[in-house]
Amino acid sequence: MARFTDKSVIVTGAAQGIGAVYAQALAAEGARVVVADIDGERGAEVAKQITADGGTAVFHTADVADPESGAAVAEFTVKEFGGIDHLVNNAAIYGSMKLDLLLTVPWDYYKTFMGVNLDGALNMTRAVWQHMSAGGGGSIVNQSSNAAWLYSGFYGVAKAGINSLTQQLAHELGGSNIRVNAIAPGPTDTEATRTKVPGSIVDLMVQQMAIKRLGTPEDLVGACLYLLSDDAKWVTGQVLTVDGGQVFRP
């Protein structure tokens, strides 16, 4: 399939894990991908590998918590590829996340965390939407989590915020022919999860699932490509849960 031939896509947090897999899958379907990440070494390597595999990708550094950095990524993409068609807001603090309570987490850390995990998606959307509109529209996918419906402290607060942001932006941008949706993964087997979550907790989570295994980044690709593509041209403001049946929700 080549649903994204000649389409330009920015994927934030694409230097590793789920973001890297999204970038690779989009390039495999013809997209011209900007690998955007604060980790320059890993990000450049992902772009290099995509190119070696026959795709089109370039790296640009991005601190999604900084509006000026987001604007720079957008301007670079327009200069490099002539426009912006799609955005995947995947960047987040997770593997290095502090484990603390909402009641006790240091305030400066909380603000930094939210600046990336919640405000970052808004910063990037604000940076790209006019470019998308000028090109006739586009689509955005935000990375949420089923943690939005489970006890998970400030991480869950950020993801619940992503869900609401998705719905609000879908209405604000619908008139510009820009769709905004989100994916809410369950526990996924990434380096970050292996670093952050003890094995005993992982085992407990797996037992709560209908499909009793951790997800993989590849399990999420189909949802991401669907929501970005014209296959979902009348789908906006939705949060698609991909979690092996861990949570039930309306």
Cβ-Cβ contacts under 8 Å for 110 (sequence gap 6 or more):
154
Spell out the per-residue pLDDT of the chain, length 250, in tens: 799 999 999 999 999 999 999 999 999 999 999 999 999 999 999 999 999 999 999 999 999 999 999 999 999 999 999 999 999 999 999 878 888 999 999 999 999 999 999 999 999 999 999 999 999 999 999 999 999 999 999 999 999 999 999 999 999 999 999 999 999 999 898 777 777 667 778 888 888 899 999 999 999 999 999 999 999 999 999 999 999 999 988 7
For the chain, give every domain's residue range: 8-242
The whole model's pTM is what?
A: 0.94
**Which residues, listed in sequence order, are joined to residue 241 by a DSSP beta bridge?**
184
Of 151, 130, 139, 142, residue with least CA distance to 185: 142
CATH class for the domain made up of 8-242? alpha beta
Per-residue CA distances from 59 to 12, 15, 248 (Å): 10, 9, 38
Query: 10 Å Cβ neighbour count for 231?
Result: 11
Both tokens assigned to 129: 């939407």
- For 153: left if phi > 0, alpha if psi spans -120 to 50, otherwise beta; the answer is left
What the block records as the tokens of 77 is: 């993409």
Polymer length of the chain? 250
List the catalytic residues: 155
Q: Which H or E run includes 221?
A: helix 217-228
